[in-house]
Amino acid sequence: MTAEWQTHAEAWRRPEQIVAQWADAESVDPSLLVARIRGDWWDVLRERGVTLLVTREYEHIVAAAGVADGSPRLSFLPLPHPSGIAVAERGSVVVASTRNPNQLFRLEPVVEVGENARDDLTDTTMPQGTLMPLESRVLPGSLYLHDLAFIGDSLYGNAVGQNAIVSLSRGRSPDRVWWPACIDSSHGPHFERNYLQLNSIAAGPSLESSYFSASTDHIGRRRPGHRNFPVDHRGVIFSGSTREPVVRGLTRPHSARLHGDRLWLNNSGYGEVGFVRAGVLEPVAYLPGWTRGLCFVDDLAFVGTSRVIPEYQNYAPGLDLDSSICGVHALDTKTGRVIASLLWPAGNQIFAVEAVPAAVSPGLPFEARRRTRARERRLFSSFSTLAPRRPLGGLPDVDPDGN
C-alpha cells in the first residue's frame, strides 16, 4: 500500500486545483495562453487605465490582460466552463461557472502579501491588487447560468435553463424575478427547460429599465442546443418593463449592454456589433468571428470574437468559419475602426469581456508567461483582501462603499 499512500499524499497539492475544485486545473495547455498583438494594444489599455477580464468557456480559463509596473501582463485562473462576469464598484468580481452544478466564484483584489507567509517563501513580486478567489457558491445546474449583472447593489443572472432572470444575492436560493411574456401559459410560466436561449442582460437602474437578449420569442419543438434549431433573424431583445420584444430580426444576439443613451449588442451569427435605433440594429462593425463579450471604456468598445463549433455552424449563417478568430478587439464606437486586438491563435470560445480599473487590479494569480511556483505558493499562503469576513452562506449584496 505504500505506493498508493504516496499517490494520495501527492494529490491536490496545487493551488489552482484547490481553487477550481478540479484536479486537472493544473494541466492548462500553455499553447492556449500564447497571444498575438495587433496594433498598440498595450498602449490602449495603459491609456484607458483598465485591465480586461475574459472568460474562455470551453477552455475553462478566465484570462486577464493588463499593464503592471509599466509592463504588459497576461494572467489567468482555471475555472470550470466560466461564462458571465459581474464587476462591483469597489473591485469585487463574480464569475459564473456553468458546469453542473453551477457555481459562482467571488474574486477580491489583494491588498497585502506576506504578513503570514512561511519563512522559506521569499518571492514578493506578485502585483498588488491581484484578483484572488475568496468564495464559491454551488447552485442548481438546471439554472444554466450565462450572463451576470449588478443592478443596484444586487446580483442577477440569466437562468437560461429556465427562461428567466434570477436574483443571486444574500445566499438565498436563486429566485426567479423576471421572465418574458412569451413563456406564460394558462398552466403557469414554462420554466421546465430552455426554449429561448435568454442569454444576456443590459443592466439598467432596475429590472424594469433593463433589456434581455434571446434567440427567439417562440416556444417550439426544436430548442436551443438542437442542431436544426432555427436562428436566422429569429433573435429578439426583450424590454424589462413590458416583457415583450422591442427589437427583432437578430441572429443569436448576445452581450446586450446599455452605454450612454444607447442599447448595444452583438449580433453573433453575423459577426456584428452595433446599437439599436428605432427598434432596428445599426451595425457599427463586422468582425472576424462569432461576436460575444462586450464592454465599454469611454469611447472604446472591447468586443470578443470566437470560433464556431463545427456542429453548430448553422447558428452562424453570416460568418466565414475558416477566417474566424478567437480574440478581443478595441473598437472606436464612433467610426467602427478596430484600433488594436489581442488574439489567441489556439483559442476557441469567448463568453464575456469586462474591464476593471488597473489601479484596482492588474489581473489574476497565474502568469501566462514565466510562471513562478514559489511566487504562487507565497501568494496563496499569505494574501489579504479588503473584503469583510463573511460566512459561506452565499454571495451577499455588495456594498458600493466597501463597508
Residue 131: beta bridge partners?
109
329, amino acid identity: H
Element (H, E) at 176: strand 175-178
pLDDT given at position 116: 55
Asked if 130 and 379 count as a contact pair (C-beta separation under 8 A), the reply is yes
> 158: closest CA among 201, 119, 104?
201
> 236: closest CA among 221, 228, 224, 248?
248
What is the DSSP secondary structure assignment for residue 325, as one 8-state letter? -
Q: What does the domain layout of the chain look like in residue ranges?
A: 29-384
Helix (H, G, I), strand (E, B) or coil at 17: helix
CATH number of 29-384: 2.120.10.30
pLDDT given at position 377: 77
pTM of the model: 0.92
What is the DSSP secondary structure assignment for residue 106, as one 8-state letter? E
Residue 51: beta bridge partners?
356
Helix (H, G, I), strand (E, B) or coil at 342: strand
Q: Which grid cell is 180?
A: 418574458
Could you identify the residue written with the cell 503570514?
A: 116
Give the separation between CA 239 and CA 263, rounded to whole angstroms: 11
400, amino acid identity: P
Asked if 85 and 95 count as a contact pair (C-beta separation under 8 A), the reply is yes
What is the DSSP secondary structure assignment for residue 260, as one 8-state letter? T
Burial group, residue 278, by CB count within 10 angstroms (0-12, 13-18, 19+): exposed
One pLDDT digit (tens) per residue for the chain, 403 residues: 677 777 777 777 777 887 777 778 778 888 999 999 999 999 999 999 999 999 999 999 999 999 988 999 999 999 999 999 999 977 899 999 999 999 999 999 987 665 555 554 455 556 688 999 989 999 998 999 999 999 988 999 999 999 999 999 766 789 999 999 999 999 999 999 999 999 999 999 999 999 999 999 999 999 998 889 999 999 999 999 999 999 999 999 999 999 999 999 999 999 999 999 999 999 999 999 999 999 999 999 999 999 998 888 999 999 999 999 999 999 999 999 999 999 999 999 999 999 999 999 999 999 988 777 777 777 787 778 776 544 433 444 444 333 3
> 328: closest CA among 25, 36, 118, 12?
36
Asked if 178 and 164 count as a contact pair (C-beta separation under 8 A), the reply is yes
Give the separation between CA 380 and CA 402, rounded to whole angstroms: 23
